[in-house]
């Protein structure tokens, strides 16, 4: 199949936006991706034709909304190859999904003196919930080191695994470094000790084929808005044996089987973890986004984005003697975190914005990682299926103009 970039770009209305009189060059895809027409239309169609609370009504609209919501769950299960849709929990995003596991798994299995293993490259969403669990229980947080290239120190990782380790929680792809971690190996090593593993797939889901059964993941989490879907919707995949053994995360409607003032019994999976009215509109839009990604092909997307990454990296390193790039891993997704000499990333991002180029600046919710490399802030360009080589050229030429002004 030919990768038709013009056809792809035509599906994203926002890409035709003018910013300060210039065509938008959107290179902040690591933060959120733009939405294709099929997603926008799915949201509009849901509100126009099937807006009713799910699972609770016998009337037509409720039944229709319920079927679309549950079909979306089945669609997610197929996309990640879960063994059953019962193992797919809808959340508000990656952050809530990790908090759910940290809270519920922690309540069931983590006690004082136990250990939780994460890595230096984690997003704050995969640090803070585990710190909070440690504060509640007296458990200890252990952190895997990384090397200068931004790769996991696997020997150090192995040394951290033991009888006290209750769970490993690791990013699939670093949102700063772009490093693609050897997830299958990480999981296998943990499983040799009987330790379950949670994988933060927020940065991987739009760029990498995810098969939770092949990986052996015990938990896998991601956000819809990172994979061309709507905001406010996310997914927690969990092995049913673990989800059954954990207590609910929140109480309320939907997650119950029977309520009395004396005692409440809980619903079966997946509803046990979905208290309250779900975002049944967002779930159907997520399904549309996954259909769109499949129509293009995840492998083709990854290959195309890698070409953009290599081209942009080559031009940066060849044309800017003072450039520094965080993350030189052998296996890397299309993200470049960089700086130029003494230019502050915020100044760089502000000037590029005036030229129509959107990049990310700051600590990217990964302060411990930046500390590891001696920085407090960094600029980041992250690519998606709809970016072009011409946009990379605009990005580089804008950097040249900014550097002349700021160096």
Q: Cite the active site residues.
A: 365
Is there a contact between 217 and 199 (Cβ–Cβ < 8 Å)?
A: yes
Is there a contact between 76 and 233 (Cβ–Cβ < 8 Å)?
A: no
d(CA 256, CA 273): 10
Task: Give Cα 213 to chain centroid, integer Å.
Answer: 19
DSSP string, 273-313: G--S---HHHHHHHHHHHHHHHHH-HHHHHHHHHHHHHHHH
Reduced to 3 states, what is the DSSP secondary structure of residue 286?
A: helix
Task: Give Cα 280 to chain centroid, integer Å.
Answer: 20
Region at 277 (left for phi over 0; alpha for psi -120 to 50; beta for the rest): beta
d(CA 42, CA 294): 16
The DSSP symbol for 332 reads B
Q: How many CB atoms lie within 10 A of CB 277?
A: 13
Reduced to 3 states, what is the DSSP secondary structure of residue 263?
A: coil
Residue 87 to residues 55, 82, 159, 293, Cα–Cα distance (Å): 18, 7, 31, 22
Q: At what angle do helices 94-109 and 128-137 cross, to 10 degrees?
A: 20
Residue 84 half-sphere exposure toward CB, CA atoms < 13 A: 9
Q: E-strand spans in 185-247?
A: 197-200, 219-223, 234-238
Backbone angles phi, psi at 236, to 5 degrees: -115, 115
List residues bridging with 78 in a β-sheet: none
């Amino acid at each position: 199949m030919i990768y038709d970039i013009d056809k792809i770009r035509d599906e994203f209305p926002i890409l035709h936006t003018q910013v300060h009189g210039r065509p938008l060059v959107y290179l902040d895809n690591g933060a959120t991706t733009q939405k294709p027409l099929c997603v926008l239309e799915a949201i509009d169609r849901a509100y126009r034709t099937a807006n009713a609370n799910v699972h609770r009504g016998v009337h037509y609209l409720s039944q229709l909304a319920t079927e679309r919501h549950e079909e979306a769950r089945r669609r997610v299960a197929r996309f990640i190859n879960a063994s059953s849709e019962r193992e797919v929990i809808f959340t508000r995003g990656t952050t809530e999904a990790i908090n759910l596991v940290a809270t519920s798994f922690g309540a069931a299995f983590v006690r004082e003196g136990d250990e939780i293993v994460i890595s230096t490259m984690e997003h704050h969403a995969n640090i803070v919930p585990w710190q909070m669990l440690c504060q509640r229980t007296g458990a200890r947080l252990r952190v895997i080191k990384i090397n200068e290239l931004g790769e996991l120190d696997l020997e150090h990782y192995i040394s951290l695994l033991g009888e006290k380790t209750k769970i490993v929680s690791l990013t699939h792809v670093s949102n700063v470094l772009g490093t693609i971690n050897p997830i299958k190996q990480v999981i296998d090593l943990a499983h040799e000790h009987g330790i379950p593993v949670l994988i933060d797939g927020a940065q991987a889901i739009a760029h990498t084929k995810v098969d939770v059964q092949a990986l052996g993941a015990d938990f896998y989490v991601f956000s819809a808005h990172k994979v061309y879907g709507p905001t406010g919707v996310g997914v927690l995949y969990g092995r049913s044996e673990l989800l059954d053994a954990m207590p609910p995360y929140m109480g309320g409607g939907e997650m119950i089987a029977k309520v009395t003032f004396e005692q409440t019994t809980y619903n079966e999976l997946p509803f046990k973890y979905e208290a309250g009215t779900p975002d049944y509109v967002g779930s159907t839009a997520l399904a549309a986004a996954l259909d769109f990604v499949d129509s293009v092909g995840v492998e083709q997307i990854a290959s195309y984005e890698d070409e953009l990454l290599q081209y942009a990296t080559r031009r940066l390193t060849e044309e800017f003697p003072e450039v520094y790039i965080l993350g030189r891993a052998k296996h890397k997704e299309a993200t470049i975190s960089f700086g130029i000499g003494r230019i502050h990333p915020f100044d760089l991002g502000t000037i590029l914005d005036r030229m129509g180029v959107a990049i990310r600046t700051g600590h990217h919710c990964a302060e411990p990682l930046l500390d590891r490399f001696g920085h407090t802030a960094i600029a980041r360009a992250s690519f998606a299926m709809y970016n072009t080589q011409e946009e990379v050229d605009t990005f580089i030429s804008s950097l040249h103009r900014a550097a002349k002004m700021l160096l």
